[in-house]
Each structure stands twice: as structure tokens, then as C-alpha cells.
Amino acid sequence: MAIELNQPALQHARSLVREGKVVRDERDDWSEAAPDADAENAFIDREGWTEFSHWHLGVDRSENGHTKQAYSFPYGDFRKVHRSGVISAESRAGQYDHTEIRDALRALLELIDGAG
């Protein structure tokens, strides 16, 4: 498994933050805010795999791009960036030594916190 930073997703997240499409919640809120499998499936059916990929900062190009296994480190609810999702993903990326993804998430969190 070779997970790498999904640059289009990072650009999408930054754009959303700049547009003010952010939920400034706390880390523990992500368990409630994260889309469940049904919400993910509905989004994929409605918007397609490319749009789904834009909500995940990790991509494993060895996986089929039309499967959820290809994407990791979600940061939002398909409408807004969640501060809690960014914090949770940053922590997990650090735990698994995905330093480029961790650093991108840290910078995204700084953008969120600075965009007040």
C-alpha cells in the first residue's frame, strides 16, 4: 500500500476553507460528523468517483480508483471541511508515518484556524 498526498483534494480543501466552508468543531466531534457508508455511497452515485476523491487527502494509486479502498484521510462531510476531520486525519497520518499528508493536514489546520 503506497498512500500518497492527493494534491487535487488538498487544493479542494484549501479552496473550501478560503470560501468559508468550514465547521470549526473539536476533534472528538469527527465521530459524529464523518459521513457513514450510506452517505458515501449516495455521494458517489450523485457526484462520481472523482468528486469523492477530492474529499480524501490520501490516495493509493495501486488500488482501483473506483473503490473506496483507494482513498483515505477524509476531512469533510461532502459540503464543508470539518476542523475535527482535519485534526483526526493529521493524527492518523502521523501515526502511520505519512509525513507529507500529515504536514499538509497541519498546514490546512493552520489555514482554518487563521481564517477565523
pLDDT tens across 46-96, in order? 999 999 999 999 999 999 999 999 999 999 999 999 999 999 999 999 999
Neighbours of 106 (CB within 10 A): 15
Q: Against a cut of 0.85, is the pTM above it?
A: yes
pLDDT of residue 64: 97
pLDDT band at 97; cut points 50, 70, 90: very high
Query: What's the structural domain count of the chain?
Result: 1
- Per DSSP bridges, beta strands 81-82 and 22-23 are parallel
Name, in order, each residue with C-beta under 8 angstroms of 14's C-beta and a sequence gap of 6 or more. 108, 111
As a whole number of angstroms, the distance between CA 102 and CA 4 comes to 11
Its domain, for residue 13, covers 3-114
